Amino acid sequence: MVESRKLDLVSVIVITWNSEKFIEECLSSVFKQSYPQIEVIVTDNGSGDSTTQIIRSRFQSVILIENKQNLGYCKANNIALKSAKGTYLLFLNSDVILENDYIEKCIDGFKTDSKIGMITGKILRFDRITIDSTGQFLTRSRKTKERGYGSRDDGRFDIEGRVFSVCGASAFYRRRMIEDISYADGELFDEDFFSFHEDIDVGWRGNLHGWNGYYIPDAIAYHYRGGTAGSLFWRRYFQIAARPSEIKYHIVKNRYLSILKNDSLGSYLRDLPFILSRDLIVFTYLLFSSPGVLALLFKNRKLFRKAMEKRSSMVKGRLAA
């Protein structure tokens, strides 16, 4: 175990919503960390199960913030962020378990380069052999790619190095990057997203401000996300098709919000054939399977205007820096 003297504080932030199945093992893994200088903040989004009771009875040192309703992943994290004191902040899903040295290895990574603003370890599924994420990248169609997703952990991703962004299941950020890329009201996670793809949006903004993402394969975490291998096309298709329309709406909406806020005109035009091809597939699928999602996108079109306003404010901030 590392010595606690003169170590930077790490704030671990966990969002819960009916998380009784996972929260005890998740928090236990946090409190077993070899890195001793941590504070733990849990924001509960109005759970109707025993989540908060488990936290109160088993983890009295946790700072517990209780929302009366589900405010979404983004707003709940922003609320917790206001209470966090750490130099580094680990945003953790409640269905994630950390190996005991996860935080220590990530902090060592931050120390190697002051421009590393975000770090991820190797995130595996609960079966311990299937990769969930080894860092995020954007394809030319602007699809978020979790590198290694669904493949076997066979050593292909055992070399540390640069990544575009980090998976929100275990997203480790430097506070200085957070302060640099947050909106004027201190909003790190765009609350118009509610949930889904907020991690790639944060990572994209980080890159635009000159911050780097980094992957450390020796830092190991486990994420439930279905628990076992399941990357076959038809299985993935039926998993997507079974999602509620509200979730499909957020996923599609957030794709365009992130593009509007972060993409450059030159890059967008260069990759336009790839982007339009994906758009055609998505909108054809929605037209025949979930037309209500298209209606929601039109009804809430003002969010796309807001995205352009946020883009403008961030551009002005970069120019002024």
Distance in angstroms (rounded) separating the CA atoms of residues 257 and 307: 6
In the chain, pLDDT over 90 holds for what percent of residues? 86
Q: Pick the closest to residue 119 from 53, 181, 163 (CA basis).
A: 163
Averaged pLDDT, 112-119: 98
DSSP string, 145-164: EETTTTSB-SSTT-S-EEES
The dihedral of CA 201, 202, 206, 209: what is its sign?
Answer: positive
How much is the average pLDDT of 38-49? 97
What are residue 90's DSSP bridge partners?
A: 12, 172
pLDDT, residue 244, reads: 79
**pLDDT tens-digit map of 123-167:** 999 999 999 999 999 999 999 999 999 999 999 999 999 999 999
Query: d(Cα 294, Cα 283) in Å, to the nearest integer?
Result: 8
Write down the pLDDT at residue 109. Answer: 97
Q: How far, CA to CA in Å, does 105 sit from each of 33, 111, 175, 201?
A: 11, 10, 17, 25
Q: Chain-wide mean pLDDT for the chain?
A: 92
- Span 248-267, pLDDT tens digits: 999 999 999 999 999 999 99
Q: Which two tokens stand for residue 288?
A: 């025949």
pLDDT of amino acid 5: 59
